[in-house]
Amino acid sequence: MLYEALLLTAVLFIAGFVFTAVFHSPLPPILRFAFQLYLLLVMASYFLWYWLHGGQTLPMKTWHLRIVRTDGQPLGLKQACLRFLLALIGVGLGFGILWALFDRERLFWHDRMAGTKVVMSNG
């Protein structure tokens, strides 16, 4: 997760730089809200793209991990979006990761609720 956070921070930093280059600082309140929404959409795009195109972000490839449905098939758009939204809630509030300590299959809360799981990948 640390590797994922570092990479995501870099992606959001670049996206933030582009936004502030276009709209300049200081941002009025309505643009600050638009900026936050923009960063959320960038983050969603990052995860959804990789989950829908191979099931792995770059850090997941490094650790040979993949996101799949509970039946082992690749995620569809609806399921990937649901997983992202649930992860925002669970990880954001702090219980989504801790859930895995008590889950019988060691699934994160967002995986349990979205019908997904993290598996070891080949290569």
Distance CA 123, CA 9 (A): 26
Report residue 87's pLDDT band, with 50, 70 and 90 as the boundaries: very high
**48: Cβ contacts below 8 Å, ≥ 6 apart:** 77, 80, 81, 84
Higher pLDDT, 23 or 51: 51
CB atoms within 10 A of CB 23: 13
| pLDDT over 80 (residue 25) | no
pLDDT tens column, 38-76: 999 999 999 999 999 999 999 999 999 999 999 999 999
3-state helix, strand, coil in the chain (%, to 5): 65, 10, 25
Structure tokens at 92: 């954001």
pLDDT at residue 123, rounded to an integer: 61
pLDDT tens column, 95-106: 998 999 999 999
pTM of the model: 0.90
Domains in the chain, number: 1
